[in-house]
Amino acid sequence: MKPGYTIERATRASRIAGLLSLVVVAALIAAPWWAGRANMRLLGEVYAFLALASLWNLLAGFTGLVSVGQQAFVGLGGYALFAASIFYGVPPLLAVVLSGFVGALVALPLAPILFRLQGAYFAIGTWVAAEVFRLTFAQVSALGGGSGTSLPARIVTDIASTRDAREMIVYWSALALGLGTVAVIYVVLRSRAGLALTAIRDSEIASESLGVNIARTKLVLYVVTAALTTMTGALIFLQKLRISPDAAFSVNDWTAYVIFMVVIGGIGTIEGPIVGTLIFFLLRETLSDLGTIYLMLLGAVAILVMLKAPKGLWGLFSAATGVTLFPLRRRVVSTDAR
């Protein structure tokens, strides 16, 4: 009998997870009917951070572009939304989508300058860029200058006339963005480009010798990540309805927490940021009364994880059980064995 082989990409766990996640997504879509107003707001925040964490992970975990300046794009998104809707009367939800283009347009010329810095210096360079954005928007008096501004009521009622309907629409948009981001990343990573990305993750030199165009891959990824981060930022400030330079370009809120999520969950996997986001919010909802102690704890946990389990909690779990929910690997399976 002739031996036969086939390439398999799904695992049993991933098929079960696929079915289960359908149920979870259905439940989340229905949240306006079973969750209270406060919980819906919390969930909206979770989705935004899920998107930010997944995007930061895509950048740092796969191409080694560690950015400490993603708040540049979060804030840019917020201000793009406010500027487009206040000055040009663009409907807010359309403005969220358009802000993605703004993010890409800004990232495209910025990337070649920042790419001149290597490694950790790149990280601080991105931070300086974010500071330039913050200080620049603080000078724009039409958007409230340093003290910021609120989204006018006429624009808010433009989304939907009643408060319930408005919150439902914003909730669903956040859900779509959060899950959509994870889905896009999953599809990209399983594609040809994703194979190049995982190759760069494992060894930059080896992948280059096999014909991966590293410079172009990094540029494209940086711009795409910037665009999606900007859209997430726009949505975050659509939920908040108020913006100020310090809040919009906060390194703690939009980058430090996000890095902790990814590191604690597990960098370089799709599951890691999801697990990390859930753990972060679990900790926050239970321990945030501790204030500064809680933040010190968070820093200590991140250091501990980095030193003792660099692949994060999901990495530990996955190594122990062999379970992957979003398999990126291709495995050769003998068809005879069936």
Partner 1 sequence: MVWLNAIVQGVLLGGLYALFAAGLSLIFGVMRLVNIAHGDFIVLGSYLALVVVQTLGLNPLMSALIVVPLMAVFGYVLQRVLLNPTLGKDLLAPLLVTFGLSIIIQNGLLTIFTADSRRVMAGAIETASVSIGGLSLGVLPLAMFATAIAVILGLDFIFTRTSLGRAFRATSEDAEIAKLMALDNRHIYAMAMALSAAIVGLAGIFLAVRTNFDPSTGPMRLIFGFEAVIIGGLGSLWGTLAGGVVLGVAQTLGAAIDPGYQVLAGHLVFFLILILRPRGLFPRMDG
Residue 8's DSSP bridge partners are 331
- Does residue number 68 form part of the binding site for partner 1 (CB under 8 A)? yes
CA distance linking residue 23 with residue 26, whole number of Å: 5
Q: Name which of 206, 229, 230, 208 is nearest 217 in CA terms.
A: 208
- Does residue number 183 form part of the binding site for partner 1 (CB under 8 A)? no
- Does residue number 206 form part of the binding site for partner 1 (CB under 8 A)? no
129, 266, 223, 50: CA torsion to nearest 10: -90
Q: Say if residues 326 and 18 touch (Cβ distance below 8 Å).
A: no
The residue among 43 and 60 lying less far from partner 1, judged by its C-beta, is 60
Q: How far is the CB of 129 from partner 1 (least distance, A)?
A: 8
Q: How far is the CB of 124 from partner 1 (least distance, A)?
A: 5
The residue among 28 and 132 lying less far from partner 1, judged by its C-beta, is 132
- Does residue number 60 form part of the binding site for partner 1 (CB under 8 A)? yes
Binding segment toward partner 1, per CB under 8 A, in 71-79, 130-138, 184-192, 272-280: 130-138
Site residues (CB under 8 A) for partner 1, limited to 245-284? 251-252, 256, 259, 263, 267
295, 309, 316, 328: residue in contact with partner 1 (rule CB under 8 A)? 295
Q: How far is the CB of 111 from partner 1 (least distance, A)?
A: 13
CA distance linking residue 315 with residue 95, whole number of Å: 38
- Print the SS3 string covering 92-134: HHHHHHHHHHHHHHHHHHHHHHHCCCCHHHHHHHHHHHHHHHH
The residue among 47 and 314 lying less far from partner 1, judged by its C-beta, is 314
- Does residue number 49 form part of the binding site for partner 1 (CB under 8 A)? no
Binding segment toward partner 1, per CB under 8 A, in 73-81, 96-104, 122-130, 236-244: 122-130
Look at strands 242-243 and 331-334 and give their pairing.
unpaired
CA distance linking residue 80 with residue 105, whole number of Å: 12
Q: How far is the CB of 86 from partner 1 (least distance, A)?
A: 22
- Does residue number 194 form part of the binding site for partner 1 (CB under 8 A)? no
- Does residue number 55 form part of the binding site for partner 1 (CB under 8 A)? no
Q: Name which of 254, 264, 218 is nearest 74 in CA terms.
A: 254
Q: Alpha helices, DSSP H only, in 30-91?
A: 31-34, 37-63, 71-87
- Does residue number 59 form part of the binding site for partner 1 (CB under 8 A)? no
Residue 211, C-beta contacts closer than 8 angstroms, at least 6 positions apart: none
Name the residues that contact partner 1, by CB under 8 A: 60, 64, 66, 68, 113, 116-121, 123-125, 127-129, 131-132, 135-136, 138-139, 251-252, 256, 259, 263, 267, 292-293, 295-296, 298-300, 302-303, 306-307, 310
